[in-house]
Every structure is written in structure tokens, then in C-alpha cells.
Amino acid sequence: MATKASIVRDVLGAGWPVSNTAALALGYGLPEPRADGSGSDELYVGKPVANTWRDHLAAQLGSVPRLLMALFCWYLMPDIAALKTLSVSWILPIVARDLAVTIAVAGLWDFLLYSQWSPLRAKAHPAKFNPKYPSFVQIKHDIAWSLCSTLLSSAWEIAVLHAWARGYIALSLPATWWLDWATWAWLLTTIYWRLAHFYWMHRAMHKWNTKRIPDVGAWLYRHVHSLHHKSKNPTSWSGISMHPVESALYYTAALIPVCFGACPLTFWFCKMDLTVGALIGHDGFGFPATVRLVGWKAVDNFWRNQPCICQRGGHALRLVVLFFPPRLQGSHNHWLHHALVQCNFGEPIAPLDWLFGTFAASEADFARKFGPAPSPEAFHAGDEAAAFEDPLPTKPSPAAGSVPSSAASSGKARSTGRRKQA
């Protein structure tokens, strides 16, 4: 049963990133370093379905920062008359704003968690799923493609605003959007239809395992989606590091309310959720972007262990630094997807993985459901060679005895594990 304290946690969880950074600086909620030097992924067990009202409350409140960003876009929107002409005067601010959001979120977050100059890197390391850090080659690759995806998201916004101003599409423009029930309906359901869109788009770019018709998914994976999967030890910059075809399709989720003539605010809200959600969800840590230490029990214990400021009538007021709502293991689920490839195409808040049998809660769960998973060496490989190997090799891997290095062994183990899923 939910307590007042748990509800307060969810409410204040919308304070990302200030509350999360403060929690990290004070060391709240971090797992203990492991003696064997392994990553923290074994501490996290995924959840297939958002089956409690607190799950949904946390997901909604976690979107509050994105709503504030959308309101910023709304109130700075140029006059509709100016949008009728494609002009640098209003196009350039959109591009600059989107680039600033991506650089601020991914850049600052990765600096705190990954940079050798960050005062918080060592403190956060026990919560890193993969104990190794990615190569700078991968990070440069991810930055370049993330900025490319950002420009494509700007292109979609420019196209929508221009088409609206020219009368090609119709959007509602309520004087008081906060009193418009249709706008609220779109905002409150965004997390669900947006993630359903992501699941199907994402699933279509992986192997379909079809025999009677061509496996279009395998072709799309090799030529499009494999670029995103080069980041096998992902960071925040990996979130929207995508092939231009994939990023263009990814941001079409924001067009769904546009097709129904909704308020432009719903477009911006979905667009910001697409960007920020992907960046934070790929950070590779169970903390501080999210806190998911084996479900709510550990979080409840964390709450009770905080310093008590005062106690009156059985109710304790505790000094606590709150964190981003637990998004139902979404980041760890997706980290498993990058490591194992053929599972966890969506998130539990829209439980299509559970419905269609593609969910895996852990490496062991993957092995039970789908067959042998990659070896531990491959599972935790963070070296440059493994990060940028061909995800779908066309030639058989060499025999185990002929592999000259641990990096090649890791790549073979990964490839073998995936071929058995075909």
C-alpha cells in the first residue's frame, strides 16, 4: 500500500536534474561497490508491466520537466503570419533551441557521470551497469549522430509550423490551453501512445524471423538501425544517435496529435519527451537518472534511512534528496536491449514487450526464454572493438581457439547469441 512518503517521493521526483545531482553528490541511494569489480546490472530486475497506480503516477510526474520545456516553446512561438514564409528569423531560433537542449541534457549528464574531470564520476561508478567505460571513439560517434537527429527533429517542427500557417493542416489554438479538456487528454496519454509508437517502429527494425516473406526487419537492422546499436556500452549521447532514416521516423510520434488537429503544445511536449527521454534512458546507470534498486522495497528502505528532522504524531519529516521517478526499469531494460539485441523493444508503461513475448528482466531471464545469452565477457565488453563490430556478421565467426584477443572473443559470443535467436 502506498504511503504518504511514497507519494511525496513521486511528486518531488519531477525535480530532475537538480534533485538527482544533489542525491549523487550526497551519495544517497547508491549501491555498494562490488568486490569482484563487476557492474550493477545484476542488482536490477526489470518489470514487464506497469501494474500499479504508483507506476503510472511516477511516469506522469517524470514528464513534468518536458511539459515545462514544451510551454517554453509555446510561449516563444512566432506570430502565425511570420510562419507563412520560410525565414531564418524564426527557423534559426528553433534549431538553436533544439541543439541547446540536446547538448545541455546529454553533455552535462555525461560530464557528471563519465568525464574524468567530474567530481561525481567515482561516486556514481557502483551504479553503472557495465563497469567499463566506453571509448572516446564511441562518444564522438554518438555526439555527431545525435546532433544530426536533433536537426531532423527541428526540421519536423519547421515543417509542421509552416504547414499550419499556410493552412495545409489545422491545429486548435485555445486561448486558455489549461482549461481545454482535449489538450489535457493528449498530454496525459502521451507517455502511452508515444511508447507504443516507439515499440512498433523499433520492433520493425529488428529481425522479423519470417520465412514466407522477406525479412525486412533484418535488412532495416543492417542498413539503418545497426548504427544505433554500435553503442553497446551506451551513454546519454547514445539516446538519439541514429541513422537519419531512423531518427526521422522516431520523431514522427510527435505528428500523431498533429494529425488530429490538437493544440501545438501537444506536439512540443511529445517532441521534448522523445529527445530528453531517450537521452536520459541511455545513460547506462541505475542512478541518478533513475533509482531502481530491486523494486520499491529498496527505495522504501532508502526513505526510512534518511536523517529525521523532526517527528510529530508518528509522522517523520525526513531530510531527503529525491530522484527521478523509477520509470519501471526502463533504462536498465533498454540497456539489456543494447547488450542482448533481441529483447525489450519498448518500456513497461506500454507493455507490448510483455504482450508479444519479447520482454527479458535480466540476462538470466533472457537465457531462459530465448536461449543462451552472450558470455559474461561479451555482456560487459566495453572496449572499442566490441563497441563498433558489425552487429550482423555475414561470415561465420572463427573457431574459439583461433581468436587472438578477448575483444574478438566478446564479439564472437555476442554474434553467436544473436544468431541463435534467428
Whole-number Å distance between alpha carbons of 199 and 178: 30
Q: Which residue has the cell 551504479?
A: 127
Q: What is the pLDDT of residue 326?
A: 37
Query: Grid coordinates standing for 253?
Result: 510520434
Q: What is the pLDDT of residue 40?
A: 66
User: Does position 192 have pLDDT exceeding 90, yes or no?
Assistant: yes
DSSP 318-386: E--------GGGHHHHHHHHHHHSSS--S-TTS-HHHHHT---SSHHHHHHHHSPPPPHHHHT--SHHH
- Span 168-172, average pLDDT: 95
Per-residue model confidence as pLDDT tens digits over 354-398: 999 999 988 888 989 988 876 544 544 443 334 333 333 333 444
Q: What is the DSSP letter of 15?
A: G
pTM of the model: 0.79
User: Does position 93 have pLDDT exceeding 90, yes or no?
Assistant: yes
Whole-number Å distance between alpha carbons of 320 and 307: 7
User: Does position 58 have pLDDT exceeding 70, yes or no?
Assistant: yes
Closest to 271 (Cα-Cα) out of 144, 97, 91, 142: 97
Contact 88/39 with Cβ under 8 angstroms?
A: no
Q: What is the pLDDT of residue 48?
A: 87
Strands 308-312 and 315-318: antiparallel
Under the banding of pLDDT at 50, 70 and 90, the label for residue 42 is low
DSSP 217-283: HHHHIIIIIHHHHT-SS--GGGTT---HHHHHHHGGGGHHHHHTT--HHHHHHHHHHHHHHHHHHTS
- Span 182-206, average pLDDT: 96
Of residues 160 and 41, more confidence is placed in 160
Q: What is the pLDDT of residue 55?
A: 79
